[in-house]
Amino acid sequence: MTDAPPSTLLADQTAYAEAVQLALDAAAAYYGDGTSTLDDDAYDRLVRGIEAYEDEHPEEVLPTSPTGKVAGGAVVGDVPHAVPMLSLDNVFGAGQLADWAASLERRLGRPVAAWSVEPKLDGLAISARYRHGRLVRLVTRGDGAAGEDVSHAIGTVVGLPSRLAEPVTVELRGEVLMTASQFEEACAKRRAHDGTTFANPRSAAAGTLRAQDRPYVCELTFFGYGALPYPDDVSETAEWLRGLPHSEVMAWVAGQGVQTTAATSVAGIVAETLEGVRERVEEIAAVRPELPFGIDGIVIKCDLAGDQAQAGFSSRAPRWAVAYKLPATEKITKLVGVEWNTGRTGVIAPRAVLEPVELDGSVVTYATLHNASDIARRGLMLGDSVTVYKAGDVIPRVEAPVVHLRTGDERPIEIPKVCPTCGDAIDASQERWRCVRGRACRTIASIGYAAGRDQLDIEGLAENRILQLLNAGLIADFADLFFLTREQVLGLERMGETSTDNLLAAIERAKAQPLSRVFCALGVRGTGRSMSRRIARHFGSMDAIRAADAGAIEAVEGIGPKKSPAVVAELAELAPLIDKLVAAGVTMTEPGWTPPAAPVVTVVTGVDGGDGGEAPATSGDASGLPLAGMSVVVTGSMSGALESLTRNQMNELIERAGGRSSSGVSAKTSLLVAGEKAGSKRAKAESLGVRIVGPEEFAGLVGPFL
């Protein structure tokens, strides 16, 4: 079985020669200052096309071809490597992985004893040379035989200590990259300096590592992936290292105080079978969107030193290791337009219109932009080549312009002077602009959100029905729904007695929804389902929430000092709507909960209206409840008594039972509820020693609250 990754088709010798030069130029730019005319995926496709042409026309292979060469043959260094720093061959998919493993085992004449499986970090390979435990030199990979001395970067790389725990002479190899937070900080420094920004973390790291004359310093991060003694070192430590399995080498590296991926959710493991390798590949790929640093694949290698020695090397790569490439999550395309839309709360948000580009299995035409200030910070212009990525592997977003690809034809993005929906004025006093009419600008969307399944759950209130009610003058906001009469609804077109009675019954049931859902229905900016539940649990009643000042709101976990004043201001703005809800008899308390007499510190999860993350908190009194003080994660398909519950209903159940719901497993997680196909979260929980229960056992724990 083989997988067939896409490649650039080359029609003739001229196209082949042009492709070779393009690949060489792109590699030289990337390994030179971190810029390139091609993104990773486009470069990989181009090289595969060159390889395919050379396989069919071996007599036409050019000496400058990037195939079979480290760094595509584009880099020449001046500091020799005692042991060559080679590239890795690639596989694309489970079929090619199986073919590669079978070929390796045929070469060995036996099965591989153990496989090491680690993330392939998206950065630059580096050699860190230590003498008697002290860091003395940093050298890039270069062409594999020699690299560039970048020792000037010593002291700016997190995870690479100036001294090891032991006074050993050794060469550490690893990857230098920028984490997401380091990239944001680097972009801010560059904008302040010259008004431009970096295209992506990879190019930012490449340029930063080599820069010596910048007036500002950008921090980098190192992750070690190997260690080897100098060839002439005959010490006991050197001989011991040479014979260690790779997994034990990495444990020793971490023990020296060097950062490795061991403390991350993509820590390297040893698998005894290829099936175990494939399972770990799937687990790493699944958590890729949550990582604070980039990976573009998974490295699979023989763990035992004896297997590695027997397999040997080709001219450019070890035969005992391979890179399993993952689909690209970042591409370069053109920004052809910007659309401005008004959301249900009146927030005015821009949307990028792109030249269609395939990104991680789907064609992307639109991407999220944050606000006018963000457009200015990123220095975006119409016609720019821009880097596009998928946030959380779902939502496409524009990261930055690729400044070195500008032609001079780019144009400024026109910023609206009035609301694009209703034409009224814009309130630009905050970073997120808003129509001065607020929710009234998008009344249908606001009412539809309030009536949604996870808020008031008013079945039968579709958008066309809301429009009927608005056009008839029967409602102006969702609170007016509770004052509708049977005669009024019957008078609407296509509303018979049965449909009228069903709708009014659904509205009546909505009055009994708990405070958390009512608060969520208000749509306060910066809050969502999780935050609404936390606010309701903390205060216990709408009266207490409305009486709270910014300091009191800030005490709710995950809100913080920046968001709390905005929440207070918006609650004041919503006062007439809340008053109508009170008059209609809508529930304004959280059943079974009262505000705490004093703050109770617990481990909690979720910030900014989401369902993930962890933060210290105060909450209502949950003592005596089965999940009191516990952080609970749910994964996989539920069964039995939990089978019909949505994930939001599961979160509500956890919180009724005194716990805190979270979407991510960490050392602070108390309990994982693992259903069928639990996947990577179960594996991580097992590695951290987190208690794991099935749906049936969990249902027994929280039975009275179901």
The residues assigned a catalytic role are 120
292: its two tokens: 């604070």
Which residue carries 């794991």 as its tokens? 692
* Nearest residue to 287 via CA among 609, 635, 23, 22: 635
- Cα–Cα separations (whole angstroms), residue 697 to 642, 693, 703: 11, 6, 10
The answer to whether the beta carbons of residues 523 and 446 sit under 8 Å apart is: yes
**Cβ-proximal residues to 629 (8 Å cutoff; 6+ apart), any chain:** 602, 603, 622, 658, 659, 670
264: DSSP letter:
S
Q: What angle do CA 76, 79, 82 make, to 5 degrees?
A: 110
Handedness of CA 154, 155, 161, 166 (dihedral sign): positive
How far is Cα 660 from Cα 632, in angstroms, rounded to an integer?
A: 6
| CA–CA gap between residue 66 and residue 70 (Å, rounded) | 8
Contact 568, 587 (CB under 8 A): no
- Evaluate the CA torsion angle 121, 126, 127, 128 in order and state its sign: negative
In this structure, are residues 341 and 351 in contact, taking their beta carbons and an 8 Å threshold? yes
For tokens 């539940």, the residue is 533
Reading phi first (left if > 0) and then psi (alpha if -120 to 50, else beta), residue 390 is in beta
Distance CA 536, CA 509 (A): 20
Residue type at 90? N
Q: Residue 257: helix, strand or coil by DSSP?
A: coil
Handedness of CA 9, 12, 15, 17 (dihedral sign): positive
For the chain, what is the largest distance between any 2 Cα atoms, rounded to a whole number of angstroms?
A: 96
Residue closest to 568 by CA, chosen among 557, 579, 577, 559: 559
Handedness of CA 485, 486, 487, 489 (dihedral sign): positive
Q: Return the residue matching tokens 């939502």.
A: 395
Per DSSP, the residues of 241-303 read HHHS-HHHHHHHHHHTT---GGGSTT--EEESSHHHHHHHHHHHHHHGGG-SS-EEEEEEEE-
Name 611's Cβ contacts closer than 8 Å, sequence gap at least 6: 529, 530, 605, 651, 661, 662, 663
- CA–chain centroid gap for 59, Å, is 46
Distances (CA, A) of 113 to 246, 253, 322, 499: 12, 23, 16, 68
Yes or no: say if 633 and 672 are a contact pair by the CB < 8 Å rule: yes
Q: In the structure encoding, which two tokens stand for residue 515, read together? A: 């405070």
What letter would DSSP give residue 513? Answer: S
What residue type is 255 in one-letter code? G
426/438 Cα distance (integer angstroms): 10
Residue 295: CB atoms within 10 A of its CB come to: 23
Dihedral of CA atoms 341, 343, 347, 349 in degrees, nearest 10, equals: -40
CB-based contacts of 495, cutoff 8 Å, min separation 6: 489, 503
Distance CA 685, CA 667 (A): 8
- The amino acid occupying position 287 is V
